[in-house]
Amino acid sequence: MIEGVKFVELKANVDERGYLIEILRVCDEHFVKFGQVYLVGNFSKGTIRAFHKHNQLWDWFFISHGSAKFVLVDDRKNSPTFKNIETFIISSRNPALLSVPPGVYHGWMSLEDDTQMISIASEVYNRTSPDEVRIPYDSFGDVWSIKPR
C-alpha cells in the first residue's frame, strides 16, 4: 500500500427504514482537518477524471451511488513507496472511504452510469491559485482498462 493511503471499509447500519453510513469522523485516525465537501457525478460509465496531486491538501473519497475505479501513484521522492501504483474499487454496495495524502497523484473512472462521488478535502479549494498539479489521464500507461479474470 502506498505510504499514507488508507482504504477504510465502512459499515452500513441497516434497519427497516433504510441505511446510514458514517463516512468520516473527526476522531478517525485518518482525519486531518476539514476544508470542504463536494459532490461529483459522472453521467456515463467509463468517464475518467485524472490525474492530479496536491502539495498540502488531503482528499477523502466515498462513492455514494454507482461504482468507480481509483488509481493512485506515489510521487513523493522521499517516500518508501515512491512510484508505486495502487488501484481501488469503491462501490455504493460495498461502502469504503479512500484517504489520499498530499503528493499522491489520483484519479477515478466510473464503472457504471450515473456514478456519484462525495469528496471531503482538508483545505478549501483556492480557485485563483489551486493546490494541484495536473497531468494527462494516460501518464502512467494503461491503468484504466478492466482486466479480465
| Reported pTM | 0.95
Would strands 6-9 and 18-21 be described as parallel, antiparallel, or unpaired? unpaired
CA terminus-to-terminus distance, the chain = 22
* Digit-coded pLDDT (tens) for 67-78: 999 999 999 999
pLDDT tier at 87, thresholds 50, 70, 90: very high
Domain boundaries, the chain: 6-12+27-124
* Digit-coded pLDDT (tens) for 4-51: 999 999 999 999 999 999 999 999 999 999 999 999 999 999 999 999
pLDDT of residue 147: 85
Domain 6-12+27-124 coded CATH 3.90.980.10: no
Determine the Cα–Cα distance for residues 128 and 106; give it in Å rounded to an integer.
21
| CB hemisphere CA count around 99 (13 angstroms) | 19
Q: Is the pLDDT of residue 149 over 90?
A: no
Determine the Cα–Cα distance for residues 78 and 66; give it in Å rounded to an integer.
36
* Digit-coded pLDDT (tens) for 112-127: 999 999 999 999 999 9
pLDDT of residue 17: 96
Inter-residue contact 44 to 110 (CB < 8 Å): yes
